[in-house]
Structure 1
Amino acid sequence: MPTSLVAWLIIASIFIKRDRHKKILRGLAFGLFIFFTNPFIATVVINSWEPNAIQYDQVERTYSYGIVLSGITNPNRPPFDRVQFNKGADRIVHAIDLYKKGIIEKIMITGGSGTLTFEGNKEAHAMRDFLLNFGVPQADILIEDKARNTRENALFTKELFTNPSSKVVLITSAFHMYRAKKCFEKVGMDVMSFPTDHYGRELYYTPDDTLIPSIYGLKIWTILFKEWIGIIAYKVAGYL
């Protein structure tokens, strides 16, 4: 991660004995800090990585299913009388929009517990309750509650389809869409991408957005590093 890289360079410079090497490591740490905290650079990169949003009126046909990937709630955080959403809440909110507009006929939610040390509460169940509260009939909601990662989202979802070759709408965060779409295609499913909750934004050429270090830059690079490492791991494992 970006913060870790800078921190390790600084730590290494403390223990290195040669002054020349100390200066090189500290200079590199400072340079990386300036680079990773620059909001303009981060915005350019995330805008290049994320696929463009799709207007509702650009969808030219009706799909039987919209598949919503979980990973957007905190099901084990109290109070338990409500759904605790993260930033990715647009996944389920836009799925409701697609359903209400008649673009998708049913909503499938895939995702169990992302906790490795204990079973935890199932995200799919919490998101199903959210859909019910917003008037989506039980008959139009399907859940897959065993998947713990994107590979399993695709694998276990396919098992629930009588006709896995039919085209469906895949709804997930824009930064995650590349890996998710590849996983579903790998198991033989034909999906239309519907990216949500973009981190990218319009470019501004003000001092705040071009010169002044910002936590926004570190946040964007951390998200990208995590996703890129995940893609590499999935490719090595043969999931993509």
Structure 2
Amino acid sequence: MIFLFSYGLTALVLLGFVVSYMRDKRRIRVGMLLTFGLLLLAFSLMISVIQVADDNSTVRYAAAFGALGLVVLLPLLVVGTGAGLIYNARILWRKEGLKPKNLLTLGLGLLIFVFLGLMITSPLWTTDGKLALPIAVVSTITAYLGFVFLCYLVSSVLYNLVRPRVPRDYIVVLGAGLKGDKVTPLLAGRLNRGIAFYKKQEALPYVPPKFVVSGGKGSDEMISEAAAMRNYLLEQGIPDEWIIMEDKSVNTLQNMKFSKKIMDEQSGEGQYTCVFATNNFHLFRAGVYARQAGLQADGIGSKTAFYYLPNAFIREYIAILTMYRRWHLFFIATIVLMYAAAAGLFWWVEHTVDV
């Protein structure tokens, strides 16, 4: 019975993933459904192996060996992840400088070791039972946030696999800060990705797409990001009449909203096609903002140096948590309340029921 139910539930969740992916790839529930479906599939396969192992000693020994390997490898994987994040922080500082935004990998790496230390020493801390509840709550919340992070990574990878096809009417290039009055290497990567798409369409019997360079002027910038991007495109041989500036936005959501308004005015709402260009680590969140702005567009991502990716993905994950903070706060509050209710019930039983 459990065997049939687990496989049936797995098929239902994976079907939900397919439907959600076909409807809109720019939702984190796509990654959640695929992740949960794969975990259910693994659980179902484990049940199948256990059932077969009852009648086959070879399978039983192989399953026991595999379970032992998992028990040994999982802690090593966690330790290796923590050490890798700390080592990556050192590389990031050397190449990008010691800045607050570059401390994320170090912080997460240290948190992993603190959490491991807490788990290892928890029997010493909980001999009287006083700290058992807080440790259980922290462990459950950590597991929840880890699951959300895994779902975000799956969603991001899936979205990076999308390859928008030509022809398109517009390419929206998202701003990313300047160095003086020049684009940074990060922003140049976005522009170059847009130029590659432009040239690909130009080489075919299509009218090339127009660029919408989107980004306002920050308090510490000499000119607007849009103006700097326009200058870069002109240097790369893109005709001036093929470049439209949106120089009022200060964040990604405004990039999408203000660029959409310009394209609506020029071509009519819903009467054009477009893509947006950004870095690969930012692609999924930018897609979420495009959906929120009502812009029917998928993204093209520029490659990013490997050493930069861990810190960038952690930053994007924090932004995703903030974006859906009400939902996450609701689930975390539910976890705390469930443990509090269970503790209250055990206390009541212990103090009111005669054994």
Q: Tell me the equivalent position of 1:97.
A: 196
Q: Is the Cα–Cα contact under 8 Å of residues 216 and 226 in structure 2 kept in the other structure? A: yes
**Runs of 5+ consecutive residues of structure 2 not aligned to the other structure:** 1-103, 118-123, 126-151, 203-207, 328-355
Does residue 220 of structure 1 match 2:320? no
Tell me the SS of whatever aligns to 2:237: coil
Q: Tell me the equivalent position of 2:224.
A: 122
Does the C-alpha gap of structure 1 residues 69 and 237 become closer, same or farther in structure 2, counting only changes over 3 Å? farther
Following superposition of structure 1 onto structure 2, how do residues 73-88 of structure 1 map, counting pairs within 5 Å?
Answer: 73-76=177-180, 80=181, 83-88=182-187
Q: Tell me the equivalent position of 1:70.
A: 175
Paired residue total:
182
Q: Offset at 1:190?
A: 0.8
Aligned equivalents of 2:153 and 2:111: distance in 1?
Answer: 25
Q: Tell me the equivalent position of 1:49.
A: 156
Q: Pick one of 293, 299, 304 that aligns with 1:193.
A: 299
Q: Pick one of 152, 163, 183 that aligns with 2:289.
A: 183
Q: Is the Cα–Cα contact under 8 Å of residues 167 and 189 in structure 1 kept in the other structure? A: no
Q: Offset at 1:237?
A: 8.4
Tell me the SS of whatever aligns to 1:160: helix
Aligned equivalents of 2:112 and 2:154: distance in 1?
Answer: 29
Does residue 112 of structure 1 match 2:201? no
Does the C-alpha gap of structure 1 residues 121 and 130 become closer, same or farther in structure 2, counting only changes over 3 Å? same
- Structure exhibiting the larger radius of gyration computed from Cα positions: 2
Tell me the SS of whatever aligns to 2:172: strand
Q: Is the Cα–Cα contact under 8 Å of residues 109 and 143 in structure 1 kept in the other structure? A: yes
Tell me the SS of whatever aligns to 2:212: strand
Aligned equivalents of 1:62 and 1:8: distance in 2?
Answer: 47
Q: Tell me the equivalent position of 1:234.
A: 323
Deviates more, 1:86-95 or 1:181-190: 86-95
Could you state the TM-score of these two structures normalised by the residue count of structure 2? 0.44
Query: 1:174-218: per-residue Cα shift (whole Å, max 9, x none)?
Result: 111111111112121111321221556xxxxxxxxxxxxxxx4xx
Q: Which has the higher helix share?
A: 2
Q: Tell me the equivalent position of 2:237.
A: 135
Q: Offset at 1:63?
A: 1.0
Q: Offset at 1:87?
A: 3.2
Q: Is the Cα–Cα contact under 8 Å of residues 171 and 212 in structure 2 kept in the other structure? A: yes
Q: Is the Cα–Cα contact under 8 Å of residues 164 and 188 in structure 1 kept in the other structure? A: no
Tell me the SS of whatever aligns to 2:295: coil
Q: Pick one of 97, 105, 120 that aligns with 1:2.
A: 105
Q: Offset at 1:101?
A: 2.7
1:4 alignment partner AA: G
Tell me the SS of whatever aligns to 1:136: coil
Aligned equivalents of 2:303 and 2:318: distance in 1?
Answer: 21
Tell me the SS of whatever aligns to 2:201: coil
Q: Tell me the equivalent position of 2:275.
A: 169
**Runs of 5+ consecutive residues of structure 1 not aligned to the other structure:** 14-19, 22-44, 201-215
